[in-house]
Amino acid sequence: MTTEAGSLLVLLGLPFMQRALLAGLLSGAVGGLLGSVAVLRQLSFFSDALGHSALLGLTLGVVLGLDPTLVLIPFAVLFALVVSTLVQRSRLPADALLNIIYSSSLAVAVVVLSRFPRYAGSLQTLLFGDILGVSSRDLLLLAVLLVVVAVVLGFNLRAQILLSLDEPLARSRGVAADVQRLLFVILLAMVVALAIKAVGVLLISAFVVIPASAARLLSRSFNSYLLLSSCLGAGGAVLGLVASAAFNLPSGPSVVIVQLLSFLTALAISASQRMNSSSW
Amino acid sequence: MRLLGHALGPRGELPLAVRDQIAYLPQLFAPRGRLPLSVAEFVALGFGHGRRLQQRAAADRALELCGCADLQRRLLSELSAGQLKRVLLAFCVVRPRRLLLLDEAQAGLDAQAAEQFHGLLFDLRRAQGWTVLQVSHDLEMVRRSCDRVLCLNRTLRCEGAPDHALSPAQLERLYGRGYVPYHHHHHQAQLPLQPQP
């Protein structure tokens, strides 16, 4: 065994690194699972806006002197509900409205944080995440969230698929479209709020969008799509963290680059499958 | 108002057991994006809650009934408009139904596919004993395949057997003197001018 490989194994064995790996596994799996529906419902930009705006919630925690994680969950849920209502009722295109909301939230948060010298320096950590600083309590919250998302999505999967397919058809089969829409937005907000410490404000939407997009290219059924999306999310996060430890790279961006590579691989496989089937 | 023997609520609600006996086939159904959903999975969604094996068995039966068992492994996004319409019919009838509501079921189909779809629908209607209530502008199809016609233009203008409701005198009353029958090669149809208010 080479010295480099040996020191990597030692590093991976350290408690903070094991917590980081577990946090990556959990947030990757939950992001992939929820992302599979978010992508179909064209909510990718919504999750991005939610991530950026979460900085305002973190700032609120700092200003009030409260634990930012505990402030962030109710803030993200409330914010998601208000924004989703605005998007439905506004005559502005959804992407323009979301852009106004998230860029203003980001600007206000950065200006307010700059008034608190103690926190101004930690802006980079908030923007890109600090998965190595994840605590045991964060891990427990992520694990509980994964279970909650899996159970709620499992019980409402039929309604969510029908709603993603065609709303009038879903309503005709008894789906309460508005309730299901709100339920999904609440789940998405909770995932963003909890995974943001590990992944950061700027990269959170990649956890939701990239694994699901890669899985969609390769799946021939909905069940395989859900499973593949979760596995790609979790696997990409773990591989990215190992790569960041091995090559001394920033952890969040390393995970996103690994997820991007998995997407490009899926794209190549899907293109070659299409070429093979058209040549027949 | 009563439907299948049950009174409708103030906002048109029906008890769940009655609602389950009714299926709705929308005018336009274009699955968004490239949803990775197989035909078998989609049809099983129409079954509602139940055991997985029970759902799959019902989906297999419905696909067989609608003549599209060979499509079950295909993705919904890969189907032609005619295939999609038959799969949608299988989705509607995956549970035993008594009433099928069709909103311009031939929309988006070419003349041949529309003819095939209606052939299938009316064979199934006879075999299964369904009541089919459909909205259509295809008067020739209505004349050939419906037992009873209601002509609506803001209000009920006339009703009865096709020979009576679609008689030249009634059509002139409905559409005015500009009414011109239109025929094409695949099947006979009439494309009237817009009805006069």
pLDDT for A90 equals 83
Check if the interface score ipTM surpasses 0.90.
no
Integer CA distances (angstroms), A104 to A107, A111, A128, in order: 5, 11, 19
In terms of CA atoms, which chain A residue is nearest residue B17? A174
Tens of pLDDT, residues A133-170: 888 888 898 899 889 999 999 999 999 999 988 888 88
Which residues in chain A touch residue B46, judged by CB atoms under 8 angstroms apart? 173
Residue that is written with structure tokens 């705006």 in the block: A53
pLDDT surpassing 80 at residue A256:
yes
Would the pLDDT of B193 be above 50? no
Chain A nearest-CA distance from B74, in A, is: 8
Work out the average pLDDT over A8-31: 87
3-state secondary structure string across chain B: CEECCEECCCCCCCCHHHHCCEEEECCCCCCCCCCCCEHHHHHHHCCCCCCHHHHHHHHHHHHHHCCCHHHCCCEHHHCCHHHHHHHHHHHHCCCCCCEEEEECCCCCCCHHHHHHHHHHHHHHHHHHCCEEEEECCCHHHHHHHCCCEEEEECEEEEEECHHHHCCHHHHHHHHCCCCCCCECCCCECCCCCCCCC
Position A243 scores a pLDDT of: 92
> Does B37 contact A at CB distance below 8 Å?
yes
pLDDT at position B194 is 47
Average pLDDT, chain B: 82
Q: Searching chain B, which residue's CA lies closest to the CA of residue A171?
A: B24
Q: Give A221→chain B minimum CA distance, Å.
A: 5
pLDDT of residue B33: 58
Whether residue A174 and residue B46 make contact (CB cut-off 8 A), yes or no, is no
Q: What is the pLDDT of residue A160?
A: 92
Whether the CB-CB separation of A209 and A236 falls below 8 Å is answered with no
Q: What one-character-per-residue DSSP string does A194-226 give?
A: HHHHHH-TTTHHHHHHHHHHHHHHH-SSHHHHH
Reported as a single tens digit per residue, the pLDDT across B24-50 is 888 877 775 568 899 999 999 988 877
The answer on pLDDT for B77 being more than 90 is no
pLDDT at A278: 64
Q: In what order do the strands lie in the sheet with B131-135?
A: B22-25, B99-103, B131-135
Q: Which CATH topology does A17-267 take?
A: ABC transporter involved in vitamin B12 uptake, BtuC (1.10.3470)
The reported pLDDT for the residue numbered A25 is 92
The pair of structure tokens assigned to A263 is 């997407």
Cα–Cα distances in angstroms (integers) from residue B20 to residues B53, B103, B130, B145, in the given order: 20, 18, 14, 25
Note the residue count of chain A: 280
Q: Out of A82-91, B70-79, B187-196, pick the least confident.
A: B187-196
Residues B161 and A31: their CA atoms lie apart, in Å, by 58
Query: For A72-76, A178-182, A198-202, B77-81, which range has the lowest pLDDT when averaged over its residues?
Result: A198-202
Cβ partners under 8 Å of residue A276, min gap 6: none
Q: Looking at the predicted structure, is the pLDDT value of residue A44 above 90? A: no
B chain contacts of residue A219, beta-carbon cutoff 8 Å: 36
pLDDT score of A279 more than 60: no
Tell me the one-letter amino acid at B26. Answer: P
Residue B117 has pLDDT above 60, yes or no: yes
Q: Is the pLDDT of residue B95 over 80?
A: yes
CB atoms A224 and B29 under 8 Å: no
Burial of B75: CB neighbours in 10 Å, binned 0-12, 13-18, 19+: buried
Q: What is the mean pLDDT of chain A?
A: 86
Output B118 or A218, whichever has higher pLDDT.
Answer: A218
Report in angstroms the alpha-carbon separations of A253 from A84, A237, A248, A263.
29, 10, 12, 15
Question: Is A20 a residue whose pLDDT tops 60?
Answer: yes
Q: Do residues B143 and B112 lie in contact, with contact meaning Cβ atoms separated by under 8 Å?
A: no
Taking the Cβ of residue B33 and every Cβ of chain A, the question of whether any pair is shorter than 8 Å is answered with yes
Across the interface, whether the CB atoms of A42 and B36 are under 8 A apart is answered no
Which residues on chain A place their C-beta less than 8 Å from a C-beta of chain B? 40, 42, 158, 161-162, 164-166, 168-169, 172-174, 215-216, 219-225
Q: Which residues of B touch A40 (CB under 8 A)?
A: 32-33, 35
A131 DSSP assignment: G
Contact A221 B36 (CB under 8 A): yes
Q: What is the pLDDT of residue A51?
A: 84
Residue A35 and residue A211 in contact, taking contact as beta carbons nearer than 8 Å: yes
Q: What pLDDT score does A236 carry?
A: 94
